[in-house]
Amino acid sequence: MDERLKMAAFAFVAAACTGGIWLMQASGPKAASAAVDPLPEDQRIAQIVREEVNRELPGAVEAEVRHQMELAGRKAQENQDQQAELLRREAEKWAPAYQAGPDLQRLRSGLELYKIQHHDHYPTLAALQDWKILLCVTDDTGKITGTVAPGIYSRDGGFGPYLQSSPLNLFNQKTSVVAAGHATADAGWTYDEGTGALHIVVPAAELERAKPLNGDFEIGK
């Protein structure tokens, strides 16, 4: 029972126990009549408590309903916040792998196009170190003949560029390229200039996050 109801009940009980004189003074003729032919004490106390409870109950119930609704609302908001945080963490965890897939496809397509336009030759590993060979305009021998703004392609008979910026490995924030089979922790990519094979480097500590790549990577050591 609400504390206010308890206090009210106790007050009425105490008042009832003082006898008929108090009832006569407080309630007039009705109280006087009750004093002449009073109810048994336990019934009188029960009646007083019941009347007071009935008077206070609607307000107490409404207040309790509001309180429970507020609690439910806060709980629902907490659950939504927790779910959103879990989703954010999951997205953050798998972002490098999901970004690597499209990056590899784009880079490999650029290398294949370079090969077609350069007499069936891929860029050399040395030329690919800073990605400049794919970021600039070249002639058919692979000699850089000019540069253009990102996203603007040559209209002067040259070839490229094939990329707008150096590709960033999100697993380790590296862009450098090393020979295939020699992945290091400081490399972003590995490359075989003979076959044009390109792979992203995944640090050994990040193998769990690389699962979506299905092994299409080299482990940096």
pTM: 0.62
Do 108 and 118 meet the contact criterion of CB atoms below 8 Å apart?
A: no
For 8-47, write each residue's pLDDT tens digit.
555 554 554 444 434 334 444 444 444 445 667 777 777 7
Domain boundaries, the chain: 3-74, 96-220
Q: Where are the alpha helices (DSSP H) in the chain?
A: 3-16, 20-27, 29-36, 41-117, 125-128, 132-135
The pLDDT of residue 81: 87
The pLDDT of residue 181: 96
